[in-house]
Each structure stands twice: as structure tokens, then as C-alpha cells.
Chain A
Amino acid sequence: MNCLDFRRALTTGEEETGAMRVHRLGCVFCADLFREQTAFDAALRSGLEVPVPADFAGRLVASLHAQDAVAAVQGTGRRRFLAAAAIGAGAFGIGTGLYAWFGRDDPMALACIEFVMKEETKSIMMGAMPRAEAAAALEASLPLARLDRIGKVMHVGPCPFQGATAYHVVLMVPQDKVTLLIMPDTRLTARARARSDGMYASVLPLRKGSVGVVGGSAAVVESVAGALRSGA
């Protein structure tokens, strides 16, 4: 290798090869150039290393696991649908009866489902509130201690919802994962329900504001909603 070859190889920034090293050790000019290049590479690396958001990797992993849970819930929903289809007309009759009992899909409950489908992952990515802060924020509407009695609180964070600030809670109950949207500024007079995209939502009034409960299983959502209403 001569000086020209060495310099050509150096300008691409490729790692030093054995031939380059042999040449450098025997050529004082190329050795100087190599030192300059090494310092430049270090500066280049520091320039490219823009700061990474705090706990970015941790939040990514949490978000992937949340997606995993949602996929599992949706998968369970699909299996349940196939089983129901096998039962046939009888099940259809029961379903129709339940729909008539619950009434039409409520827009607020549909918005809760839409949040879970489209915004939940992003909301988790924005990061969770510290527990003390979450407890203070939820105290007037739905104390965190009450949620602790129902299941394991995986995430609490504020999120924009229907033009106001809501609190997004991911709650792991023994049967499944459910999402709560606690809306301190939204008053409801009666319960509202909706079913869409393989998910089910139930919205109920609280002491202050209201809460939407969303999950893949109507039975689990209703049992959580019942527990919240009864103050379990």
C-alpha cells in the first residue's frame, strides 16, 4: 500500500485494515493524517449522538408488551366470535336480546374504544405519572387505592380526550387487561355502552366525573365496571 491508497481508504472512514496499519507505522505523514482522522471521527460520533429521550428503550419495551396484551385480548375476542358462530342461531338470538337490552352504541363509549385502538400505545409512550402524583390527581374521582383492590395498576398517565384532560389507566385484572379512561370533568347521568372493533366499552358516572372501561371481553369489562360502581 502506498500513501495514495492509504489516504483513499482513510477518507471513507472504514476501519483500518492490516495493510493500512503496516503502511501507517512506516510513514510519518500518513500517521499524522490518521491521528487527525481519529480525532475527527470522535467529534463526528459526538455530533451524531443526539440525546435520546429518557428511558426510551424501557418505554419502547413497555409499549410492545402493551401491544402484545391488546393482541391477546383481540385474539381472545376472535376465538370467542368463532365459538359463538358455531353455536348458531341461538347465540344470535341471545346477542340480539343483549343488544336490545344495552341499547344503541353510545358515542362516548365508542370514543373510549377508539382511544384504545389508536391512542393507547402513544399515551403509554408519553410516560407514566409518578404514583404519588397519580394518586392526588385521581383522588376526587376514583381513588387509586380502589383500583389497587380490583387489579394491578400498570400505567397511569394524563391524556387529551374529548376536549378535556382524562387519565389513562391500564389495569391488569386476573382474567384480562382492561383500559380505564377517567374523565374528571365529564358528567354522565346514566351508564353507556358500545361494542366496536372486537372491543367492548362501558362508561359509568363517578362521584366526580366519569370513567370508561374498555376491554376485549364484555364480561370482564362489566365485572370491572361493577366493582368500580360498588366501591370494591
Chain B
Amino acid sequence: MMPSFDELVRAHAGDLYRFAYWLSRDRQLAEDIVQEALLRGWKALPRLKEPRAAKSWLFSIVRNEHLRLIARNGPQHDSIDADALEIADERANPFGLEMRDAIEALPVAYAEPLALQVLGGFSCAEIARMLEMSEGAVMTRLTRARQAMKRMVTPLDAKQQEGGRK
């Protein structure tokens, strides 16, 4: 049975906001994106026939709303070329970055599938459909994003060793 739109909103609003935040990197914009997206979703709900697809449908309309915003106003943040990821890793201070800062440093092209996987719980195949790319490309981006994150975030034991030497 199809849940009501209120139920869908209440169940997914938090993760939709977080997803919009990692796309826009701006809290106010994230709120606006989710609100506009849900308004569109609410009007289009009768066209959603498959209750199991509701969650990925909501994430997709948030993504589309963000793309619409970029088309209207231009990029809201610096877009980094995918190849710049390696350079950014080398420059990063391995002891100073926390996890959130590390995600901030990821280009949206990498943060987007990562957020869909971790926040949305989607599989590579589902993410590939949502981003309209091949499953292999999604897997590559996820692997590179995770590797970059691991290089940027200080391992806990390294921090402890560092603290012990001081």
C-alpha cells in the first residue's frame, strides 16, 4: 500500500535535507531545495505507482531540484575537477581533518554517490539508475571517494600515538 505523502516526508525529510546539503553545501539552500522538491513531488505523487520506489524517487527529485537551481543561478560552490581529487589528498593535513571536513573536501561528483549510498542506503545499481551512469562508473567513484576519505581522515590509533609523543 502506498504511504501518504505526509508519512513519506516525515520518514525521509532528514536524509533528504542532508543529501541536499551535501549537494549544495549550504544549509539555507538545502532547506529551499527540499521544500521545492517535495512540492513538486506532492503534485506528482499520483504518478508514482510503485511504493517501494518512493524513497529513490524522493532522492531523485531533490537531485533534480538542485540541478534546476544550478541551471538557474549557476554553481553554488566551487566545482572541482575529478582529477583534482588526488592533489587535494596530498595537500591535506592528515592529522587535522575530521570526517565532515574531509567530506566537504570531496568534489560533489564523489560526495553525491557516497551520500546516496550511506544516507539513502542505495545499492550501486540503484545509484547508477538515479545518476544515469553505468554501475561500473558508480563503483569507481565510490571506491575513489572512500580511498580519498581514508587518506584524509586521521586514523584513531595514529592520533593516539601522536598524543602520546607530545
Interface residue ranges, A against B (CB under 8 Å)? 11-15, 40-41, 43-50, 52-53, 56-58, 60-61, 63-64, 67, 121, 125
Contacts and interface: CB of A to CB of B under 8 A. Distances in A.
A40 B154 CA distance: 11
B99 A43 contact: yes
Chain A: interface secondary structure?
helix
A92 B77 CA distance: 53
Contacts of B153: 43
A108 to B, nearest CB: 28
A11 B146 contact: yes
A52 B100 CA distance: 15
Contacts of A14: 123-124
A52 B9 contact: no
Contacts of A67: 39, 42
Contacts of A44: 99, 103, 114, 118, 146, 149
Contact of A47 (B102, B124, B147, B150): B102
Contacts of B142: 11-13
B49 interface: no
B98 interface: yes
Nearest to B143: A11
A49 B9 CA distance: 17
B18 A12 contact: no
10 contacts: A11-B146, A12-B124, A15-B123, A41-B118, A44-B103, A45-B119, A47-B103, A49-B119, A52-B18, A53-B31
A57 B118 contact: no
Nearest to A40: B150
A105 B30 CA distance: 37
Interface in B1-50: 5-6, 9-10, 13-14, 17-18, 21-22, 27, 31, 34-35, 38-39, 42
B118 A13 contact: yes
A64 B9 contact: yes
A28 to B, nearest CB: 19
Q: Is the interface of B mostly helix, strand, loop or mixed?
A: helix
Nearest to B5: A64
A40 B151 CA distance: 12
A61 B9 contact: yes
B56 interface: no
A67 B43 CA distance: 11
B93 to A, nearest CB: 17
Nearest to A11: B143
A47 B34 contact: no
Contact of A57 (B13, B22, B139): B13
Nearest to A49: B18
A30 to B, nearest CB: 17
B62 interface: no
Closest 5 CB pairs of A and B: A47-B99, A57-B13, A52-B14, A11-B143, A47-B100
A22 B151 CA distance: 29
